[in-house]
Amino acid sequence: MRKKIVAGNWKMNKTYSEAVPLLYEVKDLLWKSKKGESVIKIIIPPSLYIHDFYETTKGLKNIFIGAQNCSYEESGAFTGEISASMIKSVGGSYVLIGHSERRSYFKETNEELKRKTDITLAHGLHPIFCVGESKDKRESGEHFKVVESQINESLFHLQPGNFKKVVIAYEPVWAIGTGLTATSTQAQEMHHHIRSLIEDKYGRILAEETSILYGGSCNEKNAAELFACPDVDGGLIGGASLKAKEFVEIIQAIPQ
Ligand code: PGA
């Protein structure tokens, strides 16, 4: 059975003195309840905090720490960049690749994201690869095409053994941070489409094993309906991951 995953993308939020208590709050709430125990929980704070977060959560079942980005270069004179090997060396297990904010503000291309995916996998990290269409593309009915080319150009060169380590997150750009969530029908339809693309490329077994997360204004109120969709395997949560109670409620909304 494929993994159920809830990942919290903290983006560029929280100073260190705010971040540590929030992590403890999440940890304490999870500790108190058995509900959601089997869900893979990934906290993705600003990279500066990865090591501390790893040390704080080390040994806890099904909790992992991730990075929000990494360089496609191995090492060297790339001022300001953080490499996959560095992320690994401080305890990171996952890396967000191709978040729409990186694609739009930092002009990351499918080709660059392909290189980021490769380097992440080469260092034993799991990419959480984000795809999703803009409002315009949804309105013009090109949403399937957009997502298809994002996946084709950045992921489908992978050998099955590596593709297996990738988590996909469908995040319609128009839903991120806007309060506009995709309906469960829209989410299911796209997740099913993504799974059928994987099946065409890698076969049924791998397609059935790939976790596909939904992201975009997912919160404690709408999570249960989204997670009840057969092809939605969890969520990538932005805003609501910055509130411990809400984030844990989202985790607990995964069907048991
Ligand atoms: P949101 O962000 O939950 O605040 O919409 C999701 C994301 O950007 O991953």
Residue among 147, 248, 149, 249 nearest 189 (CA): 147
- 203 Cα–ligand 1 center, Å: 30
Total residues found in the chain within this entry? 256
Q: Which residue, chain included where needed, has tokens 């809400």?
A: 246
10 Å CB burial of residue 77 (0-12, 13-18, 19+) is exposed
| pLDDT tens digits, one per residue of 17-53 | 999 999 999 999 999 988 999 999 999 999 999 999 9
Q: How far apart are CA 190 and CA 7, in angstroms?
A: 19
- Contact (CB, 8 A) for 158 and 122: no
- 166 Cα–ligand 1 center, Å: 19
Active site residue 171: yes
Q: Which residues pair with 167 in a beta bridge?
A: 128
Q: Which residue, chain included where needed, has tokens 């399937």?
A: 144
Catalytic residue selected from 101, 108, 133, 171: 171
Q: How far apart are CA 86 and CA 150, in angstroms?
A: 26
Give the domain CATH number at 219: 3.20.20.70
| pLDDT tens digits, one per residue of 61-89 | 999 999 999 999 999 999 999 999 999 99
- Contact (CB, 8 A) for 129 and 117: yes
Domain count, the chain: 1
| pLDDT tens digits, one per residue of 171-188 | 999 999 898 889 999 999
- CB-ligand 1 contact for 154 (6 Å cutoff): no
* Residue range of the domain that includes 141: 5-252
pTM (predicted TM-score): 0.97
CB atoms within 10 A of CB 152: 13
